[in-house]
């Protein structure tokens, strides 16, 4: 929870004023039983209308002032809690967007959704309730005990018997509930994952007629969640009845011993009523405190989960600072005349894996070079290119962009040099222009039109009446797969990157369109390094350098003609796609 307190910094004045006004309200509330005692003893018993009216006026005044203090406290608590929630959500969103792929793979996207929604809401509620009640309720409980002793010390010994029992019950139930609430949130993660997978994969589910199986799995997930909630609910539900039972026993004891002292003439009727009122205040506040503790227990469990996400950023920053100290001043052989890229015996393994995903990869590229990467499924092609923008960190070797180690760059500085088109085409709801501006917010119309021309998107964009203002649905579902891929390529080109990475991003294009795209990229190659990852030999056949990967290792490197002579796997890939007789023209 300590890591989250920084988000209250901007609202610390409101966070202080809220409990101050609540304490003020509590002070007025503690005065009420004394006024009622005077009303009974000096007003009703002595039949003094003046005292009755005076005490009535005081009670009304205390009510109005207390109500005003309560409203003011509620206002400041709400402002502080909601402001805290806004700052926390914004920072979490920033942190999640900056996480490496390793961290996202480790945590899971479904739990990130749960933490950004359910967990944040629980923490905000906890902060709100804490500011309103955490000081007020204990203050009234102990204040009522002290005030009771000022009325009559002998009868008030009942409070010293009741209070330890209540404290034990509250602490025991709270301690037992904390791990159970954590399990509830984990079960909620599972339901969120099933929901997300079901919505994203609805077409696949229907295609394979798995609706009933998915329904069964979802029902099992919700049953597990219900079972966990019922278990912790049954335990936390004991709080109110047990506290009510203990406090009502205390009230009975007060009435019994108070009645004895009234008969003896040592205590007045009004004082007995005051003692009962103080015990009732203890009861009400302990019930509030019990509910507050349950809320805070949920909030603390969620706060730990949110702190884990914040810790991921701290871990990455620590690694980055240690990497900054390592010789980032090394210069590559291409100097500073243009963009350059050097892989020097680079290896990388996924977290938790004993084997390297890629191993001892060495190659270099300079401005104007087109690098092709080809290999079978699972050979490490995407892993290799994901190292360049720092999505994953290398575990051995050296990876340099423009003469600097990749890991010594600030993320924004590094990724501003790179345009990447991932395997899955991702477009967002909004206009085509909005999607292109994601890559370069300041790009003008000419730059965007040029990118559309190179990516072969202009031919269908210009057919739309709205052209760049054409509205895309969520995920660009109102376009074909090939059109989505071409727009994603255009989005990467708008940035005019030093390094353009096309990660199997033309798989949905027909051969004619892909050939046009390849020619357009070659014509505009001079200012950048172009890296093309593909399953098709035709996509990389004209590349200046082709890397052939197999099981994470580079088993061949060179131009097409060289690899046809020296690399058996490359020949196999080529011949499985094209007839040996006709081949493909370069």
C-beta atoms surrounding 206 within 10 Å: 11
Residue pair 419/495 in contact by the 8 Å Cβ criterion = yes
For residue 145, give both structure tokens.
Answer: 């005990």
Summary mean pLDDT of the chain: 85
pLDDT digits (tens, 9 = 90+) for 100-118: 777 787 777 777 888 888 8
pLDDT of residue 335 exceeding 50: no
Residue pair 455/462 in contact by the 8 Å Cβ criterion = no
Residue pair 184/307 in contact by the 8 Å Cβ criterion = no
Residue pair 546/558 in contact by the 8 Å Cβ criterion = yes
* Alpha carbon distances (Å) from 18 to 286, 288, 298, 453, 560: 20, 17, 22, 60, 73
pLDDT at 331: 44
**β-pair partners for 135:** none
CA distance 229 to 130: 23
Q: What is the mean pLDDT of residues 539-564?
A: 91
For the chain, how many residues are written? 586
Query: Which of the residue ranges 77-86, 137-146, 280-289, 500-509 would you say has the lowest mean pLDDT?
Result: 280-289
* Alpha carbon distances (Å) from 350 to 245, 315, 355, 383, 395: 57, 17, 8, 10, 9
pTM over 0.75: no
pLDDT digits (tens, 9 = 90+) for 374-415: 988 888 898 999 999 988 888 899 999 998 898 888 888 888
CA distance 5 to 469: 43
CA distance 229 to 383: 41
pLDDT digits (tens, 9 = 90+) for 171-226: 788 778 878 887 887 888 788 888 878 887 888 888 888 888 889 989 999 999 99
For residue 270, give both structure tokens.
Answer: 């009004």
Q: What is the mean pLDDT of residues 304-331?
A: 62
**Residue 261: closest CA among 144, 156, 145, 163:** 156
In which band, very low, low, confident or very high, does the pLDDT at 72 lie, cut at 50, 70 and 90? very high
CA distance 152 to 358: 80
pLDDT at 314: 63
pLDDT at 575: 87
For the chain, give percent helix, strand, coil, nearest 5. Answer: 65, 10, 25
Q: What is the DSSP letter of 118?
A: I
Q: What is the mean pLDDT of residues 547-560?
A: 92
Q: What is the mean pLDDT of residues 37-61?
A: 88
Residue pair 498/339 in contact by the 8 Å Cβ criterion = yes
**Residue 40: closest CA among 286, 277, 379:** 277
Residue environment code for 477-507, b if the CB has 16+ CB neighbours within 10 A, otherwise e: eebeebbbbbbbbbbbbbbbbbbbbbbbbbb
For residue 184, give both structure tokens.
Answer: 């509830």
CA distance 540 to 562: 14
């Amino acid at each position: 929870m300590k890591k989250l307190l920084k988000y209250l910094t901007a609202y610390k004045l409101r966070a202080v004023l809220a409990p101050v006004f609540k304490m003020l309200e509590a002070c007025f509330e503690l005065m009420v039983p004394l006024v009622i005692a005077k009303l009974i003893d000096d007003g009703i018993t002595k039949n003094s209308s003046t005292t009755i009216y005076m005490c009535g006026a005081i009670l009304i005044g205390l009510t109005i002032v207390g109500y005003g203090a309560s409203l003011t406290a509620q206002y400041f608590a709400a402002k502080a809690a909601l402001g805290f929630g806004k700052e926390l959500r914004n920072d979490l969103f920033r942190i999640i967007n900056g996480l490496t792929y390793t961290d996202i793979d480790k945590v899971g996207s479904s739990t990130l959704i749960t933490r950004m929604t359910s967990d944040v809401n629980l923490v905000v509620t906890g902060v709100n309730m804490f500011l309103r009640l955490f000081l007020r309720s204990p203050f009234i409980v102990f204040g009522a005990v002290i005030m009771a002793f000022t009325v009559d010390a002998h009868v008030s010994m009942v409070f010293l018997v009741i209070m330890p029992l209540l404290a034990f019950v509250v602490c025991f139930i709270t301690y037992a509930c904390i791990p159970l609430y954590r399990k509830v949130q984990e079960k909620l993660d599972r339901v969120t994952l099933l929901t997300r997978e079901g919505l994203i994969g609805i077409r696949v589910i229907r295609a394979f007629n798995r609706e009933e199986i998915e329904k069964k799995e979802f029902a099992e997930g919700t049953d597990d969640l219900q079972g966990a909630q019922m278990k912790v609910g049954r335990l936390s539900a004991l709080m109110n009845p047990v506290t009510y039972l203990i406090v009502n026993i205390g009230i009975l004891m007060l009435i019994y011993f108070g009645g004895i002292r009234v008969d003896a003439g040592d205590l007045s009727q009004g004082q007995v009523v005051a003692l009962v009122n103080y015990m009732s205040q203890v009861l009400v506040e302990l019930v509030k405190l019990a509910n507050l503790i349950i809320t805070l227990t949920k909030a603390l469990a969620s706060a730990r989960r949110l702190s884990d996400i914040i810790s991921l950023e701290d871990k990455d920053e620590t690694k980055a600072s240690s990497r900054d100290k390592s010789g980032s001043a090394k210069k590559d052989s291409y100097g500073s005349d243009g963009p350059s890229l050097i892989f020097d015996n680079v290896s990388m393994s996924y977290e938790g894996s004993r084997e390297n995903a890629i191993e001892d990869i060495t190659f270099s590229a300079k401005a104007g070079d087109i690098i092709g990467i080809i290999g079978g499924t699972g050979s490490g092609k995407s892993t290799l290119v994901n190292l360049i923008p720092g999505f994953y960190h290398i575990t051995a070797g050296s990876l340099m962009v423009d003469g600097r180690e990749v890991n010594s760059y600030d993320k924004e500085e590094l990724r501003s040099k790179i345009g990447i088109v991932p395997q899955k085409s991702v477009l967002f709801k909004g206009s085509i222009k909005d999607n292109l501006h994601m890559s370069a917010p300041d790009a003008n119309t000419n730059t965007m039109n040029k990118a559309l021309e190179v990516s072969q998107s202009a031919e269908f964009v210009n057919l739309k009446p709205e052209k760049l203002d054409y509205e895309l649905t969520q995920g660009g579902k109102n376009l074909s797969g090939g059109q989505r891929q071409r727009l994603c390529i255009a989005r990467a080109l708008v940035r005019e990157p030093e390094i353009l990475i096309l990660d199997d991003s033309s798989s949905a294009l027909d051969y004619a369109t892909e050939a046009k795209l390849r020619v357009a990229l070659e014509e505009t190659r001079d200012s950048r390094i172009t890296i093309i990852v593909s399953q098709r030999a035709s996509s990389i056949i004209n590349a200046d350098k082709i890397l052939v990967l197999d099981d994470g290792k580079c088993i061949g490197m060179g131009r097409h003609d060289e690899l046809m002579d020296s690399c058996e796997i490359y020949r196999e890939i080529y011949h499985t796609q094209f007839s040996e007789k006709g081949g493909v023209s370069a």
